[in-house]
Amino acid sequence: MDRLHLREIRESDAEALFQCFSKDEVTRFYGQDSLENVEQAKDIVAAFAKNYHEKRAVRWGIERKIHRN
């Protein structure tokens, strides 16, 4: 049974992206400054989408699938 799902990162993910990338202990491994607000996260999501649609890069997210019985 598959437990993970690969999908495009959406603007609705901006808050979660901000929560992760606003932490110095995370961003030090990415070579970028920590985010200071959710608008910066929304800009990142838009850049991911632009690069994907221009066939320049793919940056998608992995999420757990919720299985219901």
> pLDDT tens digits for 4-47?
999 999 999 999 999 999 999 999 988 889 999 999 999 999 99
Contact 2, 28 (CB under 8 A): no
> What confidence score (pLDDT) does residue 66 get?
78
> pLDDT tens digits for 44-66?
999 999 999 999 999 999 999 87
Closest C-alpha to 45, from 28, 25, 20: 20
> What confidence score (pLDDT) does residue 69 get?
61
